[in-house]
Amino acid sequence: MSKTETLYGLHAVQAILQSAPHRVLSLLVLQGRADQRLQAVRQLAEANGIAVQEAARKKMDALAGDANHQGVIAQARPGQSHTEAYLYELLDALEEPPFLLVLDGVTDPHNLGACMRSADAAGVHAVIAPKDNAAGLNPTARKVACGAAEVVPFIPVTNLARTLEKLKERGIWLKGAAGEASDTIYSADLCGPLALVMGAEGAGLRRLTRETCDSLVKIPMAGTVSSLNVSVATGICLFEAVRQRSQGR
């Protein structure tokens, strides 16, 4: 495992400075940039005794791989790596019905980051994904997540189908999103202990994942487009669940 992580973007860097400043080793800010948002990040770092260094754009672009770093890059110790055991500890400690998001093989880090952001906004307790053949929380995913990756537990698991079976044993209902489902997200009951299971870009849910779900739901589509981007679909499904859970359906 790498000894350091590179985080870039105003939201991602501000989030780690607020939630885990002890992890941040140093902060690079763009030379000559002094706008209010960057100054707030800089002051937060300095208040936590973190070294701040100005750097030329060329150096920062190289560190961020030409991604949009928004003038700020942090070098940090790796965050806590959550295991499947942590997931069950988290579930045991909850005093409310579990609300989980499962991503079945999402490979695009931009989509993963956007799903993490929606999960945080919806109050999801944890995001679960396969360890292999799926995107992990790399710097791109963390930047797109706008800080959500620092606060929402992301739990990669070795065998997703086995994990889903264990969730079912704990009384958690698995609702898989699939275009051919007969029930819509609006007619399905999304209250109580719930794990929303979203498929990969294009391919959707894998066969074994689909068969493990208790039921399938779909987003009704009125136009000519047959499917939505997985991060958009995730946001829609999560917030329909939020609406139902807040109103008791």
Annotated binding-site residue? 228: yes
Q: Is 199 labelled as part of a ligand binding site?
A: yes
Dihedral sign, Cα of residue 147, residue 148, residue 151, residue 153: negative
Which residues, other chains included, contact 165 with Cβ-Cβ below 8 Å and sequence gap of 6+?
A: 212
For the chain, how long is the longest CA-to-CA vector? 57
CB within 8 Å of 222: residues ≥ 6 apart: none
SS3 243: helix
CA-based R_g, the chain, Å = 19
Q: Are 197 and 164 in contact (CB under 8 A)?
A: yes
**Would you say 231 and 189 are in contact if contact means Cβ atoms under 8 Å apart?**
no
Q: How far is CA 74 from the centre of its chain?
A: 20
Where do we find the tokens 């209902």?
173
Residue ranges at the known binding site for S-adenosyl-L-methionine: 199, 219, 228
Residue ranges at the known binding site: 199, 219, 228
